[in-house]
Amino acid sequence: IISSFIKLDPRYRSSAFFVTWLIQGDKYTYGNGSSCNADLYLGFGVWGVLIGLLLWGIFLHYLESCAAWKTSINFWIIYLFTVGYAIYVNRSDLLVFGNYVIFTIILNAIWRLFYNKSKY
């Protein structure tokens, strides 16, 4: 939406395209892609990589340490999606797991609406 209002060079619209442009130049033939490290570095520098991955690690440690005593269906869905996504995160970006959190909230609202389960 923002790029439709301002004239932005296409190579600066995403980190994946920017990395492709850096490696192949203007005559690219395929996409090189990006990673969460590259996204954090391009957006926030070295400190962004350090702090971003530290926060990701703290979040994963919290999920792992709470896995034994949480009984909420919300927690378990977020936990399973996040642990499954943690394998893929090095080739993706960190905020995709936010989709899983939103999906969990919507799924829980539908569950409560149709089954009237306030326990979860």
Predicted confidence band of residue 30 (pLDDT cuts 50, 70, 90): confident
Average pLDDT over residues 8-24: 80
**Residues 53-92 pLDDT 10s:** 899 889 888 888 887 777 777 777 777 877 777 777 777 7
pTM: 0.64
Alpha helices for 1-120 (secondary structure H): 2-5, 15-24, 36-66, 73-86, 97-115
Q: What is the rounded distance in angstroms from the CA atom of residue 90 to the CA atom of residue 109? A: 31
Q: What angle do CA 102, 108, 110 make, to 5 degrees?
A: 105
